Structure 1
Amino acid sequence: MSITTLAAARTHLGQRHNKTGEETFLSFEKFPYTGLSKTYCVDRQVADSACSATAYLCGIKANEATIGVTAAVKLSDCAAMSNKSYHVHSVAHLSQLQGKRTGLVTTTRVTHASPSGVYAHTANRDWEADTDIELAGNDPKKCIDIAQQLIHGETGQKLNVIFGGGRYNFLPNNVTDEDNKPGWRSDNRNLIKEWEQLKNNTKHKYINDLNSLKNLSTDTEYVLGIFDNSHMAYNLDRDVKRKPSLSEMTTKAIEILSQEKKGFFLFVEGGRIDHAHHDTLARKALDETIEFHKAIEAAINMTNSDETLIVVTSDHAHTMTLNGYPSRGNKILDIGGKGDDKLPYTTLSYANGPSAVNGSRPNITTHNLEDPDYKYPSFVMLDSETHGGEDVGIFASGPWAHLFTGVTEQHVIPHILSYASRIGNYTNRLDYSSSNKHVNSLLLTLFLIVIGFFQKYYLVY
């Protein structure tokens, strides 16, 4: 969700409502405080979602493709990842220690890189199931897979809400799921049933479709909602009668988590923005961003900004550009102008990706740009478009949101979250709210005195 993605998505949103589009705002763009996040990893200029999730959830920078561990753990180092002294814990874990409810919502697999930052400790983001570890030539009994960590791990087992996709990582490869698709595990374990057994003495529910989500009681203590075999479908491809939207999952998560008087922590990811960009599917990337905007809008409407801090940011950027000199109100997903070769180009294009061409550019006036699966042009041919390394936005509203300003190292974000919610190292911090009121009153008094002084001076003069 780069700055370019935001600019293009807000324009697309406005144009859906018959406006020129450029003047439109996404819900979180109206937040009172904004900043920039520096996203690099310890060993990479351009981050992946594993090291970046570790940064903005656990408070340290890590190596590429590692999650919830320090930089002492190199990629695929099973022995190092098993060393608990190298583990780092997320804001969710620290919230749990203070009796808060916790949850995660994503449109990707719940074992994917970003949501895994909430609960996992691994040397390889791809080790989502035991089969992945075996195929990498390692022992899954020594390197615990991410799905198993979600169900049995110190943080994962205490999550009150888990919504997303990725069912196959929890099921044996000799069974099929509710969508008649096979599992992936080689250890013959059904982690969904194991989760249910662990929650036997609580009010819990496993759900797998939209109807079950809608009917889920808000007094449920624990819910595991796995809605697809792998990633959830893009919103433009979604079966709206069977599969929930990101905003529907977010709404239900807040309803359940807010039952706890001590408060809650919720991670919400519009993860398929990233996937659409990797395939240069600009239309789907913008639509997924708009779905994310709707989810944040739902959260805003359900919470009180006096007591709830909402922070919106990105793992990293992408290489999509918004370029040329198209007229005001020109469709953002359409042709933006012509090159010196007299051939048209799209307003949106990518620096690299699977849609580059060898030789002369095609005449895209014959292409169906309305097709959701149209791959927008890229310059350098790659199987998958890469991330971008520029800073990404931070948008904040609520208590202590003013700390999210300026250019910030990405790993500072969870320290501010911890400070604001009095968890981790900040559990016993002083509460400055009352003293702030005195300071504000003092400043106001001084301001009035100064104004009075100048008024008097002016009248005497």
Structure 2
Amino acid sequence: MKRFFMKRKNLIVSTVLILCLILSTFALAQQESEENPHKVKNVILMIPDGMTIAHTSLARWYQDGESLAMDEIACGLIRTHSANNPITDSAPAATAYATGFKTQNRYLSIYPEMVSMPGVGQVDEKDFYKPIVTILEAAKKAGKSTGLVFTCQFPHATPAAFASHSDNRNDYENIAEQMVYNQVDVVFGGGYKYIDKNQRKDKEDLARYLKENGFFVTPSWYEAKNFYGQKIWGLFAQDAMHYDFDRNGSGEPSLAEMTQKAIQLLSKNKNGFFLMVEGSEIDWASHANDPVGVISDVLAFDRAVKVALEFAKSRNDTAVIIASDHSNGGMSIGNYSTKYDTAMLNDFLKYIKKAKRTGAGIEELLGNNRTDENIKKIVSEYYGVDNLTQDEINAIKNAKTGELNYVLGPIISKRSNLGWTTNGHTGEDVVLYAYHPNNYIPRGLIDNTEVCDYMAEILGIDLGSFNENAYISNIDLEEKGYNVSIDTSNPSNVQLVISKENKTYIIPQNKNVVLAGSTQYRLKYVSVYIPTAKRFFVSSEVENLIK
């Protein structure tokens, strides 16, 4: 009998404790909700690189005036300038979205040393080139899953800005290594050669590193779409992927398919996720003034938007933000020769609607067979153009490898009454689109840095606290009395060497490790070497290791 009462007493105590725990958890959640009633678990940021209002207008007409999925959530405009130029390139533009700070052209998620635009705060000299913690890195530290989806090669400017730090956006090998060591949970896109030891100049086996750290690594979409774990790098092309119109037969997935799979995998984390999706090649088509490429990848991007919005609307914990990083090409519906009071819709769409491939796709079809007859045959079959001039045929014949779209794009644009002002970026505002389950969205004209501020707010992430003491430089360490040197004897593997008493600590660039003899320590952040400034930045907790 006594044992029975003891068991009953223990059961009552246990039940009370469980109830107290449930009530305290509920109270904590309620308090958190009251402090940040707009907080969400998941944020999907979607970047249609280089997309303008002219692009979306033409895309709607291409599908007979039918609205785009993104149209219903248009809510404002974004200023896009960098720290030092009215016209930004993709690196500082993506940096603004990733970090909430402006930097200068070519830089990826590091502070600028050059600030010349009105309203942009000057940076203290000691912080020049210092890495800025990104919202993706902070989300991962906060226990969320992270993902990057794109159609370019993964070390390209936009995805790179979220998971690497550099003063040279074209330094793909070093950027790729940082992104791998940052261990983004889900990466879908192109660029397999940048993790393949046989194709890297430094022979680093980054694919093996990922596998050893629990990632499934594959170049096969079939394998990726049948994967149901949580950590995967699916790189479906050696370099960049095809334009959407040119994918047929390539085995590559669409942007929508990759987005859907990424969401499926990332949403397994009860703490939520941060996902960036880029329509990478809208920008490239714009550089080439290729309207067929623009239509191809604006519509492919919009199908990915539909996937993201359907997921967000099916629950109450997900926000979707769509923001182009800059305008490109100066595209207009109508050019100098257009008589707009008599021009009919078919005058703009006749050839574009007949197009089955982009300019890049036509180049693949032509191969080395650029005879007059084959050029006329292919262009007639895939573009419906039967009246090429001899000058146009010669231009196609003599186009450099990889640049035929720069010839075919203007040929189609001229016949379609479309104007272009440049093969480069332009500096006007871009459209902001946003969805939030409680309709808490930014409106009006905002700065591109405010997109990051908004995402951090609704995720409940204090980016400032992450950045406050994240990195320390070789100069800082020297000032603190440490014996520090930068070993550049192997340019492919620059190292920071810290000596103290009888111990030597070696910190390789791009990795998040410290080597002390046979012992290896892991750091919070990847190490970054800026060769032009001879500055080496390391995760600040290294000081505790070497004390």
Larger-Rg structure: 2
Q: State the 1:97 CA deviation.
A: 2.0
Letter in 2 for 1:228: A
| Kept in 1: contact 2:111–2:128 (CA 8 A) | no
Q: For 1:205 and 1:211, how far apart are their aligned partners in 2?
A: 13
Q: Which residue of 2 aligns with 1:137?
A: none
Q: State the 1:260 CA deviation.
A: 0.8
Deviates more, 1:82-91 or 1:237-246: 82-91
2:326 to 291, 298, 316: 316
Q: Which residue of 2 aligns with 1:375?
A: 409
1:329 to 329, 341, 345: 345
- Name the CA shift for 1:160/1:84 in 2 (closer, same or farther; >3 Å): farther
Q: Which residue of 1 aligns with 2:442?
A: 404
Q: For 2:111 and 2:195, how far apart are their aligned partners in 1?
A: 27
Q: State the 1:208 CA deviation.
A: 1.0
* Residue 110, structure 1, aligned to residue 135, structure 2: no
Q: State the 1:72 CA deviation.
A: 2.5
Q: Which residue of 2 aligns with 1:422?
A: 460
* Residue 40, structure 1, aligned to residue 81, structure 2: yes
After superposition, what is the alpha-carbon deviation per residue over 1:180-215, rounded to whole angstroms, capped at 9, x for unaligned?
Answer: xxx2x2111221112112x1xx4x311212211221
Q: Which residue of 2 aligns with 1:4?
A: 54
Letter in 2 for 1:52: A
- Name the CA shift for 1:221/1:81 in 2 (closer, same or farther; >3 Å): farther
* Residue 366, structure 1, aligned to residue 366, structure 2: no
* Residue 53, structure 1, aligned to residue 94, structure 2: yes
* Residue 122, structure 1, aligned to residue 160, structure 2: no
1:87 to 128, 131, 136: 131
Q: For 1:86 and 1:330, how far apart are their aligned partners in 2?
A: 53
Q: For 1:83 and 1:193, how far apart are their aligned partners in 2?
A: 35
Q: For 1:244 and 1:166, how far apart are their aligned partners in 2?
A: 14
Letter in 2 for 1:35: G
| Kept in 2: contact 1:283–1:333 (CA 8 A) | no
Q: Which residue of 1 aligns with 2:276?
A: 267
Q: Which residue of 2 aligns with 1:171?
A: 196
Q: For 2:61 and 2:462, how far apart are their aligned partners in 1?
A: 40
Query: Residues 199-238 of structure 1: matches in 2 within 5 Å?
Result: 199=213, 202=214, 204-217=215-228, 220-238=229-247
Q: State the 1:307 CA deviation.
A: 1.7
Q: For 2:91 and 2:438, how far apart are their aligned partners in 1?
A: 27
- Name the CA shift for 1:27/1:240 in 2 (closer, same or farther; >3 Å): farther
TM (norm. structure 1) is 0.70
- Name the CA shift for 1:128/1:241 in 2 (closer, same or farther; >3 Å): closer
Q: State the 1:241 CA deviation.
A: 6.2
Q: For 2:143 and 2:190, how far apart are their aligned partners in 1?
A: 27
- The runs of 5 or more residues in structure 1 that have no matched partner are 16-20, 75-79, 130-144, 176-182, 337-363, 428-461
Q: Which residue of 2 aligns with 1:162?
A: 187
* Residue aligned with 1:60, SS: coil
Q: Which residue of 2 aligns with 1:195?
A: 210
Moved beyond 6 Å, runs of 4+: 80-85, 378-382
Identity of aligned residues (%): 27
- Name the CA shift for 1:94/1:81 in 2 (closer, same or farther; >3 Å): farther
Q: Give the root-mean-square deviation of aligned CA atoms.
A: 3.0
Q: Which residue of 2 aligns with 1:186?
A: 201
Letter in 2 for 1:29: D
* Residue aligned with 1:52, SS: helix
* Residue 393, structure 1, aligned to residue 422, structure 2: no
Q: For 1:99 and 1:381, how far apart are their aligned partners in 2?
A: 46
Q: State the 1:329 CA deviation.
A: 3.5
- Give the paired residue count: 349
2:254 to 245, 254, 265: 245
- Name the CA shift for 1:328/1:91 in 2 (closer, same or farther; >3 Å): farther
Q: For 1:81 and 1:270, how far apart are their aligned partners in 2?
A: 36
* Residue aligned with 2:71, SS: helix
| Kept in 2: contact 1:106–1:164 (CA 8 A) | yes
Letter in 2 for 1:313: A
Deviates more, 1:107-116 or 1:94-103: 94-103
Q: State the 1:278 CA deviation.
A: 1.0
After superposition, what is the alpha-carbon deviation per residue over 1:119-159, rounded to whole angstroms, capped at 9, x for unaligned?
Answer: 11000100001xxxxxxxxxxxxxxx10110111xxx22x1
| Kept in 1: contact 2:138–2:463 (CA 8 A) | no
Letter in 2 for 1:225: G
* Residue aligned with 2:409, SS: coil
- Name the CA shift for 1:408/1:278 in 2 (closer, same or farther; >3 Å): same
Q: Which residue of 2 aligns with 1:147?
A: 176
Q: For 1:275 and 1:401, how far apart are their aligned partners in 2?
A: 33
* Residue aligned with 1:87, SS: coil
- Name the CA shift for 1:260/1:380 in 2 (closer, same or farther; >3 Å): closer
TM (norm. structure 2) is 0.59
* Residue aligned with 1:95, SS: helix
Q: For 1:410 and 1:426, how far apart are their aligned partners in 2?
A: 17
| Kept in 1: contact 2:77–2:431 (CA 8 A) | yes
After superposition, what is the alpha-carbon deviation per residue over 1:216-261, rounded to whole angstroms, capped at 9, x for unaligned?
Answer: 11xx121011111111011111145611110110010000000011
After superposition, what is the alpha-carbon deviation per residue over 1:274-327, rounded to whole angstroms, capped at 9, x for unaligned?
Answer: 011111111111110000000010111223363211000101001111124264
- Name the CA shift for 1:26/1:380 in 2 (closer, same or farther; >3 Å): closer
- Name the CA shift for 1:313/1:381 in 2 (closer, same or farther; >3 Å): closer
Q: For 1:5 and 1:395, how far apart are their aligned partners in 2?
A: 15
| Kept in 2: contact 1:107–1:272 (CA 8 A) | yes
Q: For 1:85 and 1:150, how far apart are their aligned partners in 2?
A: 18
